[in-house]
Structure 1
Amino acid sequence: MFSIKEYTREILASIILIAILVVLRMVIAKLVRRFAASSQLFEHRTNLIIKYINILMNVLVVTTLIVIWGVETKDIFITISSIATVIGVAMFAQWSILSNVTSGMILFFSFPFRIGDTIKIHDKDFPIEAEIEDINTFHVSLRTKEGERIIFPNNLLLQKGISIVPTHYEDKEFFD
């Protein structure tokens, strides 16, 4: 029969690991929010990055809990490699989704342009000059001077040359 005394170490290690996870999630969320505030980033983008980091930490904690509770390392590697193979085959057809999510995270941390900036995308077949309306996980919403709305994938923003068009102010002479 199950006895708590037999599993005291595992229970204690699990409680400590979960406590560390909770503290790390709070600390990392504060750090990301501080970075976002200093970079003047929008709240929904900050929340997406925090969500991605939390998912990664949860996967690591679940893996650690599996080790703590005595699953053999050989079995873990077989399971992980099987899951990775299935996901790899399934995602091979969806590589652009992963590419866009990764590009979205890169754009978040490097952030070469902001919402409201007018950019020029240097594409020989389809050059675009438009204002950035929104930056999402998978794409950027652009609006041209003619009012056309363009949805542009994040991964292409990292592959194409982009110029940030400076805002032009009319040179007027001011009189008092």
Structure 2
Amino acid sequence: MDLATIWVTFTSWAGAYSWQVIVTLAIVGLYFLIDRLTIPVLSRSADNARLTESSGDRAVGLARLLTGTLCALAMMVVWGVQFGSVLVFAGTALTLLGVALFASWSILSNITAYFVILLHPTFRRGTFIRVLDADNYAEGYIADLGLFNLKLITENREAIVYPNNLLLGRPCVINPRDRLRGVGKLPPLPPLDVVPNNE
């Protein structure tokens, strides 16, 4: 095949599928636009939180994976890949992902909590926190943030691995005035002074 034949074949193909080509280019452009807007925000959040470089890289990689998957699904719909099948697949996948990423009992909800903690300015590396769970507590310095858990180092140099979704669901004391032993039961509150009833 010579160059002229290839050009004619390409132009006839492009004319027949012009709107699909235009929409595909728009989706690719949207992917790069979202990438250019979100990646600096995630990188800046990881830098502000003074986390390790791998924590920021994990967030960037996961964001690109999610965005790329959604763009690939959109392109499949544009190019006519069994719209009904893709719609059923996308609906099922979104339902499962929605439950998995947001239900508190799901392991994958730790990934959603990872992004919330990463973007939250309070949880920075080196910050001393106490996580309260009813009468129990765990406290220590934030050492690292992973996709599934936060690593705390106590003052006794013990490592506590705390799940991200549980951290978001529990009250936390940031830089408490009095530090306790690291892990255990909260000390009992002093008794309140009983004020006599003047009748």
TM-score under structure 2 normalisation? Answer: 0.66
1:95: how far off?
Answer: 4.4
Tell me the secondary structure at the aligned position of residue 150 of structure 2: strand
Equivalent residue runs for 1:20-35 within 5 Å: 20-35=30-45
Task: Quickly say closer, same or farther: Cα 1:34–1:123, change in 2 above 3 A.
Answer: closer
Equivalent residue number for residue 132 of structure 2: 122
Task: Measure how far apart 1:164 and its partner are.
Answer: 1.6
Q: Could you tell me which amino acid in structure 1 is paired with residue 163 of structure 2?
A: P
Distance 1:161 1:86 in 2: 28
SS in 1 for 2:152: strand
More helix by share: 1
SS in 2 for 1:115: coil
Deviation at 1:158, TM superposition (A): 1.4
Pairing partner for 1:56 from 35, 43, 66: 66
The separation in 1 between residues aligned to 2:119 and 2:141, in whole angstroms, is: 20
Does residue 1:108 correspond to 2:98, yes or no?
no
Mapping for residues 66-85 of structure 1, pairs under 5 Å: 66-71=76-81, 73-83=83-93
Indicate the residue corresponding to 2:143 in structure 1: 133
1:27/1:96 Cα in 2 relative to 1: closer, same or farther (>3 Å)?
same
Q: State the 1:151 CA deviation.
A: 0.9
RMSD across aligned positions (CA): 3.4
Cα 1:83–1:121 change in 2 (3 A) is: closer
Three-state SS of the structure 1 residue aligned to 2:131 is strand
Deviates more, 1:54-63 or 1:6-15: 6-15
Alpha-carbon distance in structure 2 between the residues aligned to 1:74 and 1:125: 52
For these two proteins, the number of residue pairs brought into alignment is 166
Distance 1:88 1:118, change over 3 A: closer
Counterparts of 2:84 and 2:100, CA distance in 1: 24
Separation of aligned partners in 2, 1:11 and 1:20 = 14
Distance 1:160 1:89 in 2: 20
Give the SS at the match of 2:129: strand
Identity %: 27
- Specify the structure having the higher radius of gyration (Cα): 2
Partners of 2:50 and 2:99 in 1: CA distance: 35
The AA in structure 2 aligned to 1:29 is I
Q: Deviations over 1:18-66 (max 9, x none)?
A: 23323431332234334544x3443333222222321221122112212
How far apart, CA to CA, are the structure 2 residues paired with 1:95 and 1:123? 16
TM-score (norm 1): 0.73
Task: String of CA shifts for 1:74-98, please: whole Å, max 9, x gaps.
Answer: 332222244457778999xx94322
